[in-house]
Amino acid sequence: MAFLNRAAGAVAGILLVAGTLPVAGARAGPDIQGSVEYRVKAAMLYNFTRFVRWPATMAAGNELVLCVLGENPFGDALEDLVGRPTGNRTLALRHLAGNGGMEGCGVLFIAASEQANVGNLLRQLGHRPVLTVSELEGFIEQGGIIRFILEDNKVRFRINLTAAEQAGLGISSKLLKLARDVDGAPRQGP
Amino acid sequence: MGYSGIHGARRQEIPGPQRRSGAASRPRQGWRLVLLLGLALTQRSGPAAPLPENLADFSLEALMDIEVTSVSKRPEKRTKAAAAIYVLTGEDIRRLGATSIPDALRVVPGLHVARIDANKWAITARGFNSRFANKLLVMLDGRSVYTPLFAGVYWEALETPLEDIERIEVIRGPGGTLWGANAVNGVINIITKPAAQTQGGLLSAGAGNEARAFGTLRYGGELGANGHYRVYGMYGNRDPGRGMTDTHDDWELTQTGFRADWEWKDRTRLTLQGDFYQGLAGQQVTLPVTPANATATLVDDTDISGGNLLMRWMRTLEGGSEYRFQAYFDHVNREGLVLHEDRDTVDLEFQHRFQCCEAHDVLWGVGYRRTSDNTDDNAWFRLDPASRTVHLYSGFLQDEIALHENLSLIVGSKFEHNDFSGFEYQPNLRAVWTPRPNQTLWAAVSRAVRSPARGEHDVRLRTLPAVNPGRPVIIRGDEDFDSENLLAYEAGYRWQGGTTVSVDVAAFYNRYDELRTFDPEVFTPTALGLPFDNRLEGETYGVEVAAQWQIRPGWRLEGSYSFLQMDLDLSEGSADTVSRGAEDASPHHQASVRSHMDLTPALELDIGVRYVGSLETPTGDPAMPAIAVASYTELDARLAWRVGAALEVYIAGWNLLDGHHEEFTPDFIRSQPTRVERSVHTGLSWRF
């Protein structure tokens, strides 16, 4: 027992020292599973894909690629979605760093880190059949298709129907019914 | 009474996976606690609360119904509760590195948790702590776990896999209107996850110098198209505390249990659950022996065992009206040197909730409990009669009235009849005002009753005073012993600063009368008789503060402070020498600070510091100074590494600042208190 107590003391010391270290050096990582909010949002992203119809002209393939641009807030939550069926395809995942590599993305989630970039990005996408999703303020107004919002601590979303139609995406009425707001107004700008 | 089952019911409203159809109409108006105490907990817990792992199988509607409060990990509606409430989530418990429910409760603001020896605890809120603390009601999934013998809780026999706990709700202050007698100073509801949230396999195991070995093996699966189940087995073994010599207070428990939940499309839900346990809780106890004035310190290995089976049925009708029926059977057996108890309890309750006339939300219910015991007498302990069956009939009615958009009034009362003190009523009146969405003010006036326990009526306990001058005392039950009464005035304020800071302050002023006393009755050469009586009254007041600060994503600080002052007075003519001692037997000040930090996405570091003020227990002999327990400050820490999605390994240390410290002096039965030692344990948790 004496040995165990000494060992306990030593471990206590190590934990104490460890406790003083991280403040300076630690990287604030998201919870490994992502916070509840982002786990819910990830599951909703998957659900969106089941209520959106991509145009037949979209490159045929077995996979629907979900792309995440910028700092991934989802933790591991999106990884769990890979391989899930959506329509007659399965979901794939791609993390993007810059504006490149968007070829083949069926869904594009634009992270909050891309705030400064989002207008350019949407213009660059033009009317390509990509379901753009973000939580950034002004996303809908700038021509994005779905924006997550928080209301009473619950995740809600807005849909820009005009932008979806221009992108050639068919949005199921079920999704529209659940949207907090359906924006049918013509989008601003080019 | 176990109305917390209602929480269980609410819990089941966590949106479950929608089976293909996607028809996800959930009762939006669940059994919310708002309707109960005006304690508005919600159906959904905050982000720290465990979520089902298969969220992607949920319908959009279900997902949109999940609360995702990202910072104050408390559900938003909690901020509108009209009572002093704190919720410890399963995630909190995991990050504390606690190996027992009492250790997890140590961080709850305003709760005094003191370990008497390695398997006994004194836990209560707002004063009057004791191993047999009788003003706190504790429930596990709607099943009351206090013993009707002394109205206290045998914490050493209260186990459930910590990984299965969804949350522990701690309400400080009276909850008698809904929960009934004994919910005087507080209520603790331990709520486990629905089976749907514990699918697949889990192996969690660990070992340490104090928590010598502990482990849980659990497996969950589906039951047809509408049901889920889990079964588990668990084992725990704790090292004795420190004493002058061998202390013999080791503890060992093996428990197994199951839970099954069904939910049908017509909004009918059914839960079946049960547990069976068997174990050993050791102690040393000093007792009077023959010849007169001789004492002996004896080793008492108490065998503890028991089992329970619970059924809960709920139905939600169109329009939001809900019915709920719960029944349980509980068997408890203890065989110790002094205490023997073999008890069977059957409890039935029915509740109905409905909205009416625009502004009213009404909840009413009736309940019946029958508990019968069988005891063996010995040289020290005798109940007369040795077997007794006690009946408890109860009913309650509560109405929450929305007076204005942001002002609600909750009025209600519980009525019950018990075999010892007869008819009791416990009304309360509460008001909640939310002047702004991020601010809540609440106030309440309540009457609560602590009804007599079987022992207080029927016991003959031959024991020794705290300091043993050689003369034994006989604590004697009295059939005239009446209920203890409380009139409580409470108020609180909650504030949420943006998304990063929240503060919760509660203050109370309690007036008690008819509190329990022991008036020395007969001096004989061999023993002093101490019959139970109701000759103490007094007031207590205090403040409890809890705060949270999300410094940045992945780093949260929590702090709490509580103050308690007790002023008790004996009725004229009372010669009681111990009961006023409750004034100093609870700490005046307690404080804690905790930091929960994610160093990297895979590495968690949790550190907490706790301070508990000093205590004094009277000796019963006015000539002798009280027994003091020094204040202490302790540090707990945990470092965890997630190796992959399925495996986590951790090392945790408790009470790291001192080699050992003491926390409490027992009363009634002079079991030897032992000192709490520094402890370190390591373990893993593997999902498969």
CA A189 centroid distance within chain: 25
**Angle, CA of B215, B74 and B83, to the nearest 5°:** 110
Better pLDDT: A120 or B280: B280
Pairing of strands A63-69, A89-96: parallel
Q: What is the pLDDT of residue B604?
A: 93
Report which of B532, B391, B528, B517 is spatially closest to residue B455, judged by C-alpha positions. Answer: B532
Q: What is the pLDDT of residue B466?
A: 65
| Chain A residues in contact with B49 (beta carbon < 8 A) | 36
- Nearest by CB: A178 against B51, B61, B645: B61
Better pLDDT: B496 or B682: B682
Two tokens at B530?
Answer: 């101490």
Q: A145 CA to chain B: closest CA distance, Å?
A: 17
Query: Which residue in this structure is represented by tokens 């601590």?
Result: A153
CATH number of A28-183: 3.40.50.2300
Two tokens at B557?
Answer: 């600080």
Cα separations in angstroms, A94 against A69, A80, A103, A134, B600: 9, 13, 11, 16, 22
Q: Is B543 on the interface with A (CB under 8 A)?
A: no
Residues in chain A with pLDDT < 50?
A: 1, 3-4, 11-34, 185-190
- Taking residues B288-299, what's their average pLDDT? 80
DSSP output for B594-622 = EEEEEEETTEEEEEEEEEE--EEE--S-T
Q: What is the pLDDT of residue B72?
A: 25
> pLDDT band at residue B73, thresholds of 50, 70 and 90?
very low
> pLDDT band at residue B12, thresholds of 50, 70 and 90?
very low
The nearest alpha carbon in chain A to B677 belongs to A5
Q: What does the alpha-carbon distance between residue B607 and residue B640 come to, in Å, rounded to a whole number?
A: 12
The nearest alpha carbon in chain A to B653 belongs to A12
Indicate which CATH number applies to the domain containing B206.
2.40.170.20
In this complex, do B64 and A12 lie within 8 Å of one another by their Cβ atoms? no
| Chain B residues in contact with A173 (beta carbon < 8 A) | none
Q: What does the alpha-carbon distance between residue A112 and residue B482 come to, in Å, rounded to a whole number?
A: 64
| Chain B residues in contact with A47 (beta carbon < 8 A) | 56, 58-60, 63
Q: Where are the domains of chain A?
A: 28-183
Query: Which residue in this structure is represented by tokens 């069956």?
Result: B389
Q: What does the alpha-carbon distance between residue B490 and residue B173 come to, in Å, rounded to a whole number?
A: 8
Report which of B591, B586, B538, B540 is spatially closest to residue B565, judged by C-alpha positions. Answer: B540
Better pLDDT: B438 or B566: B566
In this complex, do A29 and B69 lie within 8 Å of one another by their Cβ atoms? no
In this complex, do A1 and B64 lie within 8 Å of one another by their Cβ atoms? no
In this complex, do A75 and B601 lie within 8 Å of one another by their Cβ atoms? yes
pLDDT above 60 (res B31): no
Q: What is the pLDDT of residue A6?
A: 55
Q: What is the pLDDT of residue B524?
A: 65
The nearest alpha carbon in chain A to B61 belongs to A178
Report which of B472, B572, B577 is spatially closest to residue B520, judged by C-alpha positions. Answer: B577
Say what the ipTM of the complex is.
0.75
CA A145 centroid distance within chain: 13
CB proximity under 8 Å: B 595-634 to A: 595, 597-602, 605, 607
In this complex, do B75 and A16 lie within 8 Å of one another by their Cβ atoms? no
CB proximity under 8 Å: B 634-673 to A: 635, 637, 639, 642, 645, 651, 653, 656, 659
In the A/B pair of chains, how many CB contacts fall below 8 A? 143
Residue B22: how many other CB atoms lie within 10 Å: 15
Residue B581: its H or E element: none
pLDDT above 70 (res B36): no
Q: What is the pLDDT of residue B624?
A: 76
Quick: pLDDT tens for B333-351. Answer: 999 888 888 999 999 999 9
Q: Which of A71-80, A102-111, B48-57, B407-416 has the lowest mean pLDDT?
A: B48-57
Q: What does the alpha-carbon distance between residue B311 and residue B260 come to, in Å, rounded to a whole number?
A: 10
Q: What is the pLDDT of residue B79?
A: 55
Query: Which residue in this structure is represented by tokens 């429930």?
Result: B139
The nearest alpha carbon in chain B to A24 belongs to B599
- Taking residues B184-190, what's their average pLDDT? 92
Please, are residues B604 and B94 in contact by the beta-carbon 8 Å criterion? Answer: no
Report H helices in B347-497.
454-458
Question: Which of A6, A16, A20, A32 to probe the B interface (max B CBs under 10 A)?
Answer: A32
Q: What is the pLDDT of residue B373?
A: 95
- Taking residues B317-321, what's their average pLDDT? 75
CB proximity under 8 Å: B 147-166 to A: none
What mean pLDDT value characterizes chain B? Answer: 85
Q: What is the pLDDT of residue B15?
A: 32
Question: Which of B65, B68, B643 to probe the A interface (max A CBs under 10 A)?
Answer: B68
The sign of the CA dihedral B506, B445, B487, B138 is negative
Q: What does the alpha-carbon distance between residue B536 and residue B465 come to, in Å, rounded to a whole number?
A: 19
| Chain A residues in contact with B76 (beta carbon < 8 A) | 152-153
Quick: pLDDT tens for B437-468. Answer: 788 999 999 999 999 999 999 999 888 876 65
- Taking residues B526-538, what's their average pLDDT? 87
pLDDT above 60 (res B20): no
Residue B644: how many other CB atoms lie within 10 Å: 11
Proportion of chain B above pLDDT 90, given as a percent? 56
- Nearest by CB: B64 against A11, A42, A156: A156
| Chain B residues in contact with A30 (beta carbon < 8 A) | 553-554, 598, 601
| Chain B residues in contact with A80 (beta carbon < 8 A) | 56
In this complex, do B60 and A47 lie within 8 Å of one another by their Cβ atoms? yes
pLDDT above 60 (res B7): no
In this complex, do A9 and B678 lie within 8 Å of one another by their Cβ atoms? yes
Q: B654 CA to chain A: closest CA distance, Å?
A: 9
Strand partners, B107: none
The sign of the CA dihedral A100, A101, A105, A107 is negative
Proportion of chain B above pLDDT 70, given as a percent? 88
Residue B95: give the domain boundaries.
5-687
In this complex, do A12 and B637 lie within 8 Å of one another by their Cβ atoms? yes
Quick: pLDDT tens for B674-684. Answer: 999 999 999 99
Q: What is the pLDDT of residue B472?
A: 80
Residues 6+ apart with CB under 8 A from B521: B476, B528, B529, B530, B531
Two tokens at B277?
Answer: 């346990």
> pLDDT band at residue B192, thresholds of 50, 70 and 90?
very high
